[in-house]
Amino acid sequence: MGPTCSSSRSTEPKLQVREAISAARVGERKAMVLAQVKQRRADNGPDARAARRALRAEKAQLLRWRRLLRARLDLAVASYAPPDTLGAMSWDILPDAQLSLPHPQELLAVVRVSPAQDQVALMQRLRALDRQLADYQAHLDAALEESTQQIMGTFAAPDRKPDAR
């Protein structure tokens, strides 16, 4: 038991260092996005729309990463508590549809996570990453809202000339 305990203890500080580095990178990205938005706001004009497009693209990528993290977390949880067998409750209601269901063992085999990693540590790490992404999303949403308000403000400005059509 000695070697496995020492190896798990030696990996714990490495995991903490990785999480600290990851948090620093997220902080750097937040600062970079906010600086870009502020610069574009300072320019004021056609770049406000470009800033909003960039923010929307960033939000789409962020949402994709959050979905991936949650899916990975679901898989980690399923390794401890697999879902109920599909079709067990509806076999008498949909008897013909039962033939199209894959075998439960086949479904479990494709979603089972390898036990090579400490699953509890993995779940904690995934949750921590999701919290970081949620924080980043809050900043991104605020910047997107400010960008929208800025664009709306330029349309509502009294000195704006109506389009001659």
Task: Give CB contacts under 8 A, 24+ apart, made by 104-110.
Answer: 108/82
* Domain definitions of the chain by residue range: 57-81+111-157
Tell me the pLDDT tens digit for each residue of 57-110. 999 999 999 999 999 999 888 888 888 888 777 777 777 777 788 888 888 887
Q: Which residue has the higher pLDDT, 115 or 154?
A: 154
